Amino acid sequence: MKKDANRNRIIVLFIAGTAFFGWHIFSTIGDGGLSEKDKRLIEANGLKCIAFLRAVERTGSTVNNIHQYQFLFDVKPDSGDAFTYQEKKLIDPIYMDRIEIGMAVPAYVMPGNQSKVWVLWEDVGIKNAF
């Protein structure tokens, strides 16, 4: 009976550890970024915007020694009300000196869905880390 209880505890700990590890990987890589299909759709149907960078914070996660950052933007569409948007992004250290609070980055937003924002980092010379 004692053996079964210990075995069950080990199984529960293994499942909890696996779930925690999976969540950590998902929160680092699975940042809710747009797929290529979403980008094409938002470019065709979205509103042009300017995203003003208000804050940058390291999340503490890294992938292949590339740090992940949380970015907070004030997004101002060409038409409509301004809103706040945040995203996580892995940034290669060679690009960090180009990122400044207050910088303006071109973006698109899907009308009626402020969670669908495409910040065009490439237009300000910052490429994806991967």
pLDDT at position 119 over 60: yes
In this prediction the pTM is 0.72
- Residue 26: per-residue pLDDT: 45
pLDDT at 51: 98
User: How confident is the model over 6-26, as pLDDT tens digits?
Assistant: 777 777 666 765 655 554 444
pLDDT in tens, 34-93: 889 999 999 999 999 999 999 999 999 999 989 999 999 999 998 889 999 999 999 998
Contacts of 73 (CB under 8 A, 6+ apart): 51, 52, 53, 54, 84, 85, 86, 87, 105, 107, 117, 119
**What are the domain boundaries of the chain?**
1-30, 34-124
Residues 6+ apart with CB under 8 A from 61: 24, 27, 28, 67, 68
State yes or no: pLDDT of 30 exceeds 80.
no
